[in-house]
Chains A and B, each alone.
Chain A
């Protein structure tokens, strides 16, 4: 519609293209005059408001609604029953409910082990990749693949790998340990199933930690190591006094993000075990889904949702502080 001669990237062509544009814009004087007359302040609000409105409509309004529901006996499957104000009853019953605390323990087990494994493996991999062997770019991209894929769709396929009679995972374990492949069930056993979900999560998300750690390692300037060499510091000493402390903000960032994401983990666990057997892998989100969409205890589950949200909000606060710290590097 508007002819632009050459590229606007080149600064010296700007004046030429501006003349053309000026003429072209005059064709639609209404819009042009209105936008032209805008001050920076108006423009700023014009640009930002749509996003804020969308978030208010789809995030904040529902959130306020949830807060309201969490104080009532509302049930989504019995909308005609009169709603009664219950005060903080649900909060009290949730915080004293042993089942909720069991779910929190399952979540904690999942979060802690996945974060520990992913951090150790991820940092180790980043350290090795930082040695810049031949083809490290290609292999890095290959390693990154699992984290880009749908946790639900891939998690679902892992149930096939974990089949005790026919699954590849059981076959490989049987091959290396000499046990019979059908002698253990990763998804059906109360002691093994919490580890089954940890393995899949570590498989998917170790690359994430690796990528951030790699950025941390690459942000360390060479001259620091050169100075350390001059001072005859051992490699071991260099690792503990330079590499690790300087990469630490990046490691923290990865740890925090993984902790937040796994605290609210739903899709992969829902497909792998659905919280079972019994409730051995029932992480908080699964408990919430069962209460909200299976027993339809909407008020109760709203209260639980708010409790989870406050926890995540706190973690997110720390995360943003860490982000800013890394950013200032």
Chain B
């Protein structure tokens, strides 16, 4: 890779080239950001502004989308509403303006919590199993190593629907249908392949001499692994964990086929948020925004390791 210090070589692009390339890239970035910006804008629109034509860029911000996301409401007669006391909080007063009263909380928060538990649970398991296996594959002579590694990777390549058919039957038999534990195990099995491949790359980069020196000093192999290799691999483990989290967080196919209530995560829930007369787009947008924010943060944190993550650790910068 060229560094800034190697400037003025014959192969450095000219200032004009740079400016031209830069403006094209910025143009592309701005265009692809429009759908994301639109999600955030729609989240703060009132239902009427959200479906107006031409689409509104300037509008009076409203929290109705968020209120509708977190509550269920029932329609009442104006007389009944007038007979009630003063509105309980912002959402109640928004609802009353539309001749409705807040009936209770919606399912969004429980679904969001399911997403958190399942994503974190499966990530912890996948990274723990993956770290051990990656160290095993990196440092020891394992018979059929390449075949095992290929087998591990190929499990991630399976079409989810094809896997879901027997998993559905299996979970039905052993009582794991629509349970968080079932989803955690399933996501762990998908993520562990990524974890092994990614972490093997990271551990390969830690010089063996470190452990060997520690073992000469009296460490056992296991102690050397815990006290020398693990601290060195912290960055790799963190990056891997974030990749596993993102996968489990975003997963939809298994979730929509194998969960219906108890263990349902946010991705199958958000698309079925409906209001009176079809989809409640500001509420959907509000739910989508809250769901996407953690991923945006993680992407920024991960930017140096993205390439490794998406190529199973094969391509490094």
Contact = CB atoms under 8 A, between A and B. Distances in A.
Contact of A226 (B9, B39, B250): B9
Interface stretch (A81-89, A90-98, A109-117, A300-308): A300-308
A128 interface: yes
A58 B142 contact: no
Contact of A145 (B185, B296, B312): B296
B189 interface: yes
A134 B271 contact: no
Give the residue among A54, A134, A158 with the most B Cβ atoms within 10 A. Answer: A54
Nearest to A238: B11
Contact of B167 (A11, A46, A62): A62
Given A47-B132, A47-B135, A144-B303, A264 B213 contact: no
B295 A149 contact: yes
Contact of A203 (B35, B227, B232, B256): B35
B113 interface: no
B221 A38 contact: yes
Interface residues of B, number: 119
Contact of A150 (B167, B223, B252): B252
A203 B28 CA distance: 10
A260 B206 CA distance: 32
Contacts of B188: 54, 58
A157 B288 contact: yes
Contacts of B50: 166
Contacts of A312: 157-159
Contacts of A100: none
Contact of B314 (A151, A157, A161, A327): A327
Nearest to A34: B222
B152 A316 contact: no
A28 interface: no
Interface string B246-289: 10011111001100000000111011000000010100110010
Contacts of B1: 218
B58 to A, nearest CB: 14
Interface in A174-212: 181, 203, 206, 208, 211-212
Contacts of B217: 14-15, 18
Interface stretch (B13-21, B79-87, B93-101): B13-21
Nearest to A293: B257
Interface in A34-81: 35-36, 38, 40-41, 43-48, 50-52, 54-55, 57-63, 65-66, 69, 76
A309 B315 contact: no
A54 B159 CA distance: 18
Contacts of A125: 25, 28
A295 interface: no
A26 interface: no
A17 interface: yes
A149 B32 CA distance: 13
A106 interface: no
Contacts of A289: 161, 257
Contacts of B36: 145-146, 149
A27 interface: no
A257 to B, nearest CB: 8
B124 interface: no
Contacts of B153: 316, 320
B314 A298 contact: no
Q: Which of A129, A229, A250, A267 has the most CB of B within 10 A?
A: A267
Contact of B159 (A17, A45, A253, A305): A305
B121 to A, nearest CB: 14
Contacts of B213: 11, 14
A250 B54 contact: no
B292 interface: yes
A123 interface: no
Interface in A292-329: 292-293, 298, 301-302, 305-306, 308-309, 312-313, 315-317, 319-320, 323-324, 326-327
5 contacts: A133-B25, A151-B252, A165-B51, A264-B157, A316-B150
The 7 A-B pairs of least Cβ separation, nearest first, read: A133-B22, A152-B252, A62-B166, A305-B162, A44-B140, A47-B136, A150-B250
